[in-house]
Structure 1
Amino acid sequence: MNIFQVALIQPLTNGLILFYNLTFQNMGLAIIAFSLFLRFVLNPLTAPYMASMKKIKEVEPLVAKLKLKYKEDKKGLMTAQTELYKQRGINPSAGCLPYILQIVILIALFNVFTQVLSQNGDAISKLNSMLYAPLKFAENVTLNTRFLYMDVRLPDVFNVSGIPFPIPGPILILAGLLQFLSAKMMQPMVKKEEKIAKDTKGGADDMAVAMQSSMIYTFPAMTILFGIKFPSGLALYWLLFSVFQMYQQYKSSGWGGLAPFVKRLGLIQLKP
């Protein structure tokens, strides 16, 4: 085994199987429980990021003024903005590590589902090669990979006669929807930057704003498009990830871009 397998894939595989044994040998429940455990472990690491995002939101009006003041002096703007962040104790890069780690974990989980929990006849042998001694299965064991309507080893899709492409299933659609809602909660920051970008020459701000705005739609679309090919267990994990992401965003910045919609539902009262 290579270092990636030893450091990530093997521990994640053993963790998943441990929760499989603790959740009545149901792989779907194991994925849910294991996802909650991973979020609990990673949550302290995301605290610096959320604190930094909250501070950045608080100084947005000051940053907007700096962009107007230095709209023809990119170097001066960078220096002034860096100094402002330093004075307010803001580290824009804080919390990058846990989010990079989450992507690495997602890649590792993809390997777990595609390589270890395969449908091949030697699935248990491959799985046992990754498991620590106390968790190894007997060779004649069959894993319970059914959860609700799906097999977590297979994509969450439906094939309809007459339609040349697979239709995304409910879990996959919900994961993409929650990704979209989470991105919308961050949209006010994007909207405030758009006017400043238009007033700032050089195109740098316009590019940053365009990238932020496009992420609102590209991430959910990528979730669904990739999910059509990936095991539904990953879609289930990503769904739970999106729920926690929305919760953390709400704690940091409130409803954000979702506030008008939530108001129309009568769930909150917005201040004039």
Structure 2
Amino acid sequence: MNIFTIILTQPLTNGLILFYKIFGQNIGLAIVFFSIALRFALLPLTKPYMESMKKMKEHAPQIEKLKRKHKDDKKKLMQAQAEFYKQKGINPGAGCLPYLLQIVVLFALFGVFSNVLSGNGDLAARVNNLLYPPLKLAQDATVNTKFLYMDITKPDVIRLEGLPIPLPGPVLILAALTQVISAKIMSPHIEKQKKAAKKTKEVADDFQTAMQSSMVYTFPLITIFAGMNFASGLALYWVTFSLFQTIQQYKSSGWGGATPWVRRLQTLVKTP
């Protein structure tokens, strides 16, 4: 086995099979609780980013003052911001490592799910070489791939007569929506940054703000298009992982950049 398999694919496979055995060989429940456990395992890496975002939200007025003060001098603005972040213990780059790690884990999960969720049901032959001795399966072990309305070995799509392409299914749509909400919460200053960027002469501000805005929707769209071609077990992982990420972010920093959406929703609900 290569180093990637030993460090990531093998432990993740064993984790999934452990939950599979705990929950009475229900692979759907195994994926849900495995996703929750994985989210908690990554919490030590994501917590610093959430705390940093909370501090940035608290100190947003001071940051805006710095931008107005140095709006004509990009270099001084960067120096002033760096000094301010240092004084307040804010690390703007704290979110890079968690995101990179999540991408690496996601690639490993493609391998895990392709092994465990292959459609022929011959589970033991595919995964026993990756399992630690206490978790090895009987040679005739098979897996029940039905969960809710889905066969989780197949993409979560809806095929309608007359339509040349399938439509994303409910779990896949929910996975994308939770990612949008999560990304929106994690970008609490985008609207303020847009206003500040218009006041500066540097195009870098506009580019950075545009990138932050686009990322809110880029990953959810990738999720939908990728999910329409992979086993729906992966979509089940996405929706569970993203939902708990959203809950953790809300507890840490409130609604963040999603606040305008929440206010509009509250207004609509109150309107007779």
TM-score (norm 1): 0.91
Of all paired residues, the percent bearing the same amino acid is 60
Aligned pairs (5 A) from 1:168-207 = 168-186=168-186, 188-207=188-207
Matching residue's letter, 2:138: A
Name the residue aligned to 2:264.
261
Q: Equivalent residue for 2:20? A: 20
Q: Is the deviation greater in 149-158 or in 12-21?
A: 149-158
Whole-angstrom distance in 2 between the partners of 1:158 and 1:266:
31
Q: Is the 8 A contact 1:188 1:257 kept in 2?
A: no
2:135 is the alignment partner of 1:135: yes
Q: Which runs of 4+ in 1 moved over 4 A?
A: 120-123
Unaligned runs of 5+ in 2: none
The code of the aligned residue for 2:19 comes to F
Q: What do the CA deviations read for 1:215-246 (whole angstroms, capped 9, x no partner)? A: 22222211111110121111111101221222
Count the aligned residue pairs. 267
Q: C-alpha separation between the residues in 1 aligned to 2:68 and 2:81? A: 12
Q: Is the 8 A contact 2:190 2:213 kept in 1?
A: yes
After superposition, the C-alpha distances for 1:18-71 in whole angstroms (9 at most, x for unaligned) are 110000101000001111111222223322111111111122222222222222
Structure 1 SS opposite 2:144:
coil
Stretch moving more, 208-217 or 180-189: 180-189
Whether the 8 Å contact between 1:20 and 1:27 is mirrored in structure 2 is: yes
C-alpha spacing 1:106/1:233, structure 2 compared with 1 (3 Å): same
**Whole-angstrom distance in 2 between the partners of 1:114 and 1:90:** 40
The residue that corresponds to 1:30 in the other structure is: 30
Cα RMSD (Å): 1.9
Distance 1:177 1:105 in 2: 21
Q: Which residue of 2 aligns with 1:211?
A: 211
- Aligned match of 1:270: none
- Check conservation: 2:26, 2:144, Cα contact below 8 A: yes
Unaligned runs of 5+ in 1: 268-272
Task: Please state how far the C-alpha of 1:160 moved relative to its aligned partner.
Answer: 2.2
Residues 152-193 of structure 1: CA deviation (Å, up to 9, x unaligned) = 221111222221111111100111112222233345511111
Task: Give yes or no for contact 2:122–2:140 (8 Å, CA) kept in 1.
Answer: no
CA–CA distance in structure 1, aligned partners of residues 235 and 121 of structure 2: 24
